[in-house]
């Protein structure tokens, strides 16, 4: 005997009350009814949303610099750091006409993150030497096919008109690091 919790199975005869099942059914219904009046732990998402932590790690953003140029230089460090092998990219060389679009001489012509693989660990953000990739507090959308979870630059690069403010999240991260 490995523990003292083992019980010997006894094939005893059921009593009359056990055979009619009614007390067991009523007991089950009572448990269900009692839960109706308890405080609910679930939310009617998406109508109601929880307050997320200021350092919640959600959908990535590829940032632009002050002049609106993409910061990413397709060095591949984020892909190497990614434990889920969720990042792929194709590098290209910047031409003179592209100087307004890309900050570095090399840029990511293709940059994809497989959101089904991603575990939102944030290692890509930490590995990036160009402050090009950050995780944000945005949720990844629900999709009905696997292909739509491959996020390309169209979904990852922030728009020039509506840049994504990651400064608040970064302040929290650094404050947390300082305390540790």
Burial of 140 (C-beta count, 10 Å sphere; 0-12/13-18/19+): middle
Closest CB 179 distance from ligand SF4, rounded Å: 23
| 78 vs 166, beta carbon nearer ligand SF4 | 78
Residue 61 makes contact with ligand SF4 by CB under 6 A = no
Residues between 145 and 174 that touch ligand SF4 (CB under 6 A): none
Contact 79, 89 (CB under 8 A): yes
Size of the site for ligand SF4 (CB under 6 A): 27
Q: Cis (ω within 30 of 0) for the bond into 143?
A: no
Q: What's the CA gap between 114 and 147, in Å, rounded?
A: 9
The residue range among 1-9, 82-90, 159-167, 168-176 that interacts with ligand SF4, by the rule CB under 6 A, is: 82-90
Q: Which is nearer to ligand SF4, 75 or 166 (CB)?
A: 75
Minimum Å gap between C-beta 126 and ligand SF4 is: 8
The contact pattern for ligand SF4, residues 106-135, with x = CB under 6 A and - = no contact, is: -------x----xxxxxxx--xx-x-xx--
Tokens, residue 138 = 């945005």
> 130 or 153, CB closer to ligand SF4?
130
89 or 166: CB nearest ligand SF4: 89
SS3 per-residue string spanning 38-107:
CCCCCCCCCCCCCCCCCCCCCCEEECECCCCCECCCCCCHHHHHCCCCCEEEEEEECCHHHHHCECCCEE
Residues at the contact surface with ligand SF4, assessed by CB under 6 A: 72-78, 81-84, 86-87, 89, 113, 118-124, 127-128, 130, 132-133
């Amino acid at each position: 005997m490995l523990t003292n919790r083992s019980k010997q199975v006894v094939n005893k005869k059921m009593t009359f009350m056990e055979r009619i099942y009614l007390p067991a059914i009523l007991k089950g219904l009572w448990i269900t009814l009692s839960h109706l009046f308890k405080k609910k732990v679930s939310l009617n998402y998406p109508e109601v949303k929880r307050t997320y932590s200021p350092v919640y790690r959600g959908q990535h953003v590829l940032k632009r610099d002050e002049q609106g140029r993409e910061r990413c230089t397709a060095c591949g460090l984020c892909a190497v750091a990614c434990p889920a092998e969720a990042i792929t990219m194709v590098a290209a060389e910047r031409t003179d006409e592209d100087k307004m679009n890309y900050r570095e001489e090399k840029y990511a012509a293709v940059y994809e993150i497989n959101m089904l693989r991603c575990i939102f660990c944030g290692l890509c953000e930490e590995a990036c030497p160009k402050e090009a990739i950050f995780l944000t507090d945005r949720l990844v959308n629900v999709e009905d096919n696997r292909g739509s979870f491959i996020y390309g630059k169209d979904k990852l690069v922030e728009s020039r008109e509506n840049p994504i403010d990651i400064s608040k999240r970064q302040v929290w991260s650094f404050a947390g690091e300082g305390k540790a």
